[in-house]
A and B are shown apart, each in its own frame.
Chain A
């Protein structure tokens, strides 16, 4: 039980990668279905709909980034894991990873819905590609905010004397 600190920290890293990854998998899949529908009717729109399909994929990358930073901070990535980390510090790492985990999951799914609408808009009006991207990209703002807060928190925890 004395090694609970590192367990919590690792759980945080895993959650960030897991939940944001799940969100992106659902989102890219959903947008992919819509893109396939459009390409079935008009194969020339492949390039345009592909970009929109990829938008919900970024949350998975952000989750991965948070997991990497956390693993690096707690030493697991470099091979010198801080096994004596206090439980409180471990919980702090876990808490720091949660914004990316939850916002990543939810924003990827919501962004996918906007991307699907954008894909369907492009199928009817290809000249509106830019606007379709903006609508979906607006959701990205919140994933980036969560990413920022998670990065700032994780890097800040390292300097705390606990």
Chain B
């Protein structure tokens, strides 16, 4: 019998009560000022109970707290590594830029990957990829080669991004868990759509689109690349005949509307896990829910801090898990 994670799932379901709801976000937005919004979140147990002045610190502590809980429940992070891949590959891109360009990469590295950024930086610097895990080593080597051969940062980036999506797809399949597999598929589809639209808007060739788009099951990458090499309308026309016709509508409004639609789509995918009593899936969904909550909190607090129009912020807030 597959591992049921009964204890862990029960704790996670109990913790779901502490997730912020839409009314909590509304409370933050309705706060008199940024400090009151921070106090409200502290009152909800956000962060480590300290008084924060910087919301990023509060969000970081909250994220660390979440990972501490997950590690306590399931010491082996392997089932969740799919969620860390984007950070790992992002750090690889940052490391290549740090070593081979004069760009200021301070603050470009992200925490929370499965490989420490320093290890990636050292490997890229020494061109010795032995210390990197298998999924990253090959990509690191080929991305550095592409960069040194072409000097084109974008070519290097698309190679890394594509490898990232392919790794996520592969790990999703290998997980044997439906929600992880579906998440990998959806993430790849959403990234492909974004890449195709950007390629179309910037007049890229079909070859470029083919090099950038990752294979997935619910989109025909060749047709998408073909459409992307023509224009954005062709991409929208292609999407009309797929399960993602709403994506076209969202992109037509704006890229940020598409991002919001994409995040909502992921929430829609995992929402059913709230009632799943067993398996790793509800824990995986909780991590994604927490990530989505963090995003909503960041948008709300940055809006409060910069005194932005609340109507505009509300438009950008994603659907929450609870």
Q: Which residues of A contact B (CB under 8 A)?
A: 30, 33-38, 40-42, 113, 116-117, 119-120, 123-124
Contact = CB atoms under 8 A, between A and B. Distances in A.
Nearest to B18: A41
B101 interface: no
A124 B9 CA distance: 13
Interface of B is mostly: helix
A120 B13 contact: yes
Given A113-B277, A116-B278, A34 B7 contact: yes
Interface of A is mostly: helix
Contacts of A35: 10
Contacts of A119: 10
Contact of A124 (B4, B7, B13, B278): B13
Nearest to A49: B10
A30 B277 CA distance: 11
22 contacts: A30-B4, A33-B7, A33-B10, A34-B6, A34-B277, A37-B7, A37-B8, A37-B9, A37-B10, A38-B10, A113-B277, A116-B277, A116-B278, A119-B10, A120-B9, A120-B10, A120-B13, A120-B14, A120-B277, A123-B10, A124-B14, A124-B16
Contact of A40 (B9, B11, B16, B17): B11
B6 A30 contact: yes
Interface centre among B4, B6, B8 (most CB of A within 10 A): B6
Interface in B1-42: 4, 6-11, 13-17
Contact of A34 (B10, B15, B275): B10
A41 B277 contact: no
The 6 closest A-B pairs by CB, nearest first: A37-B10, A41-B14, A33-B6, A37-B11, A34-B10, A123-B14
Nearest to B4: A30
Contacts of B11: 37-38, 40-41
A123 B13 contact: yes
A38 B14 contact: yes
A120 B283 CA distance: 14
Contacts of B17: 123-124
Contacts of A116: 6, 10, 277-278
Contacts of B275: 117
Contact of B277 (A36, A40, A117): A117
Nearest to B275: A117
Nearest to A119: B10
Interface centre among B10, B13, B277 (most CB of A within 10 A): B10
Contact of B15 (A33, A41, A117): A41
Contacts of B13: 120, 123-124
Nearest to B15: A41
Contacts of B4: 30
B5 to A, nearest CB: 9
